[in-house]
Structure 1
């Protein structure tokens, strides 16, 4: 992946998801716990990137489909 997501957990329990050096979303509480569990369960870097992409809420907007011909 050319521009992968990264993340870090703060002492306050928040999860900061970044891409390109900029924080794109801050998750807290149950959402942060859920994403951290999914990241621990992911076996490959690609799976981790998918979890992080989905956590941003900007995943699969519907325009990703190819031509239907």
Structure 2
């Protein structure tokens, strides 16, 4: 489900990407995407994730979970990095 509102330039669009997480008794964190296990974070990575997620809004937390699962840049976004106009 995506919530799109008219935005001004530079404003972040709020999106629900379908990610949730649950903390386990052993300290690890399961990241779920539409109810299915996408990734398990353990030890220091899990602790860092929990401390960062506590400070974020819902849409920012969705982006964080997308990054930790590797579901962030796909297809054209990866290829575009090597395009001559994007080289620095």
Whichever structure has more strand as a proportion of its residues is: 1
Equivalent position of 1:56 in the other structure: 69
TM-score (norm 1): 0.80
> Structure 1 residues 34 and 62, CA, compared in 2 at 3 Å: closer, same or farther?
farther
Greater Rg, structure 1 or structure 2? Answer: 2
TM-score (norm 2): 0.64
Cα RMSD (Å): 1.9
Supply the distance in 2 between the matched residues of 1:20 and 1:62 (Cα, whole angstroms).
Answer: 21
Q: Secondary structure at the match of 2:63?
A: helix
